[in-house]
Chain A
Amino acid sequence: MSFGKTIRQSLELVQVDKKTARSVFAIFVEETQNIVRYSKAILPEDADDSEAVLRHGFIAVGSPEKDVYFVCCGNLILKDDVQRLSRHLKHIATLDSDGLKALYKEILKDAVPEGSKGAGVGFVDIARRANGAFEYDFKDVDDKHAYFYLKAYA
């Protein structure tokens, strides 16, 4: 996570206000941890997915205009997971800030969901930091895999 430090220092250099800087940084952390924990693009390619493998994906921070920042990411997922993920994100997108807060607390109090290596609240946190300004997409790659994209504005 040392490139997290790079992001933080860069934001200081361009003098982003504190709140935006923290949002960019927080979204960056959540998206990176998603890739590291769940990406189905692994190296070595023939390794068993349950082993310690290098999981890869992409993450990018951009600023299309002054004071507007986004963090986008993408990684390979299993087609079998598209529906579950899509349903989760669709639900999150319908919630206002109170709804997001309630869902955030609800998930945190539950046991860690099966197959989850983190808290299972990453997307809710991203949506809260982005004030609901996020978009996502799934693209089929082959018969087993799809590519997942997420873009969130800080």
Chain B
Amino acid sequence: MEAIKLARTDSTPEVNFDFIEMTFSLQGMSFMEDVTSFYGPLREKLSSFLQSTSDEEIQFSFVLSYFNSSSTRALLQLLQVLDEAGERNSVTVVWDCGGDEDIAEEAEELCEDLENAKFELTGLDD
């Protein structure tokens, strides 16, 4: 599957989905007006790709300094896709909070229901 690369805008994060290296990332801020049209296609591609994987090392990195409430729902759906893939693969969700404790808290809250995927919080000083 061809890589997905989207540059960041004022309200949408930078997207890097590398289906060969199996590394995926979202970086920036997320508060677009139409959440479904931004995240829907990304989730579908990720989901259909992951359905055919097993015994792979997969890493998804979040480097988000702000996401609004409707983005939060979309992010939870992405995490659900990753968690399901974690039943057959080694999936790691890395959240870089950039030293910000409030972001760290939000990340932990979002990821607390992951059962199969591993959650790693990075970017805290201590």
**Chain A residues within CB distance 8 Å of chain B:** 1-2, 4-5, 18-19, 22, 25-26, 29-30, 33, 36, 101, 104-105, 108-109, 112, 118-119, 121-122, 124-125
Contacts of B66 in A (CB 8 A): 22, 25-26
Please tell me if B70 contacts chain A, counting CB pairs below 8 Å: yes
Complex Cα spacing A121 to B68, Å: 10
B33, A119: Cβ atoms closer than 8 Å = no
Contacts of B102 in A (CB 8 A): 19, 22
Complex Cα spacing A118 to B73, Å: 9
**Chain B residues within CB distance 8 Å of chain A:** 10-11, 31-33, 35, 66, 68-70, 72-73, 76, 100, 102, 109
The 8 A-B residue pairs whose C-beta atoms are closest, nearest first, are A125-B69, A119-B73, A118-B70, A119-B70, A121-B69, A1-B11, A29-B31, A29-B68
B69, A119: Cβ atoms closer than 8 Å = yes
Contacts of A2 in B (CB 8 A): 10
